[in-house]
Amino acid sequence: MTMGLQGSLFGAAGETSLQPLSAVRRTPLTDGAWIDVLPGWLAGADTLFERLSEHVPWRAERRRMYDRVVDVPRLLSFYDEDDELPDPALNEAREALSRHYADELREPFRTAGLCLYRDGRDSVAWHGDTIGRGSREDTMVAILSIGAARSLALRPRGGGQAIRRALGPGDLIVMGGSCQRTWEHAIPKTGKPVGPRISIQFRPRGVR
């Protein structure tokens, strides 16, 4: 699939490189949750976007909602821990994250979930990554965002003030601590004319 990028948003094509993760900034949330943010972690995000949008086997999914089956409003591709990642830049990103968070996470990031939001109508609803161990254990989910800027919204599960972080091309956000079970996150739809975005989520084994 080839998705057009707006020239004004993306720089000249080139190779990708990662900035040092020592520059990441942590924001504590409530109940032992936190987020780490590093804007512009990946340089050359436009190049990676072009490669992934073309070479990843994007899948459309359908989901039951009450008495109807509806299209999931984004395209998906999942790489389990033994699968070859679709681009060497993703191996580098996963290794860098595993190295940086080794002492705190005490296990490497293993899987990569990729989502393609084709435009502002694509979204993901409020949820925590609680299918696996995230429902009972502290863990981390690291998201590398490339393509058009979109907001990631977060809110405490029991109710409370939501926050938003705008994720631009190459930006990193890591949700850590109890974030998956005590907070929820979403990519809200937007009426603004936004281009396509790819989210790359790295997770440890058994977190989904």
Residue ranges binding ligand AKG (CB under 6 A): 113, 115, 124, 129, 143, 145, 152, 185, 187, 199, 201
Do 98 and 114 contact (CB within 8 A), yes or no? Answer: no
**Which lies closer to ligand AKG via its Cβ, residue 9 or residue 124?**
124
CA dihedral over 48, 54, 57, 58, signed as positive or negative:
positive
Residue 3: CB minimum distance to ligand AKG, A: 15
Do 180 and 207 contact (CB within 8 A), yes or no? Answer: yes
Distance CA 153, CA 161 (A): 11
Residue 72: CB minimum distance to ligand AKG, A: 10
**Which lies closer to ligand AKG via its Cβ, residue 63 or residue 102?**
63
**Which lies closer to ligand AKG via its Cβ, residue 145 or residue 178?**
145
Nearest CA-CA partner of 124 in 63, 182, 53: 63
Go through the chain and tell me how many residues it has: 208
3-state secondary structure of 23: helix
**Which lies closer to ligand AKG via its Cβ, residue 43 or residue 153?**
153
**Which lies closer to ligand AKG via its Cβ, residue 60 or residue 102?**
60
CA dihedral over 99, 105, 110, 115, signed as positive or negative:
negative
In terms of C-beta distances under 8 Å and separation of at least 24 residues, what long-range contacts does 155-160 make, across chains too?
155/126, 155/183, 155/184, 155/185, 156/29, 156/30, 156/31, 156/182, 156/183, 156/184, 157/128, 157/181, 157/182, 157/183, 157/184, 160/30
Which residues on neighbouring strands pair with residue 26, listed in sequence order?
Answer: 36
Residue 187: CB minimum distance to ligand AKG, A: 5
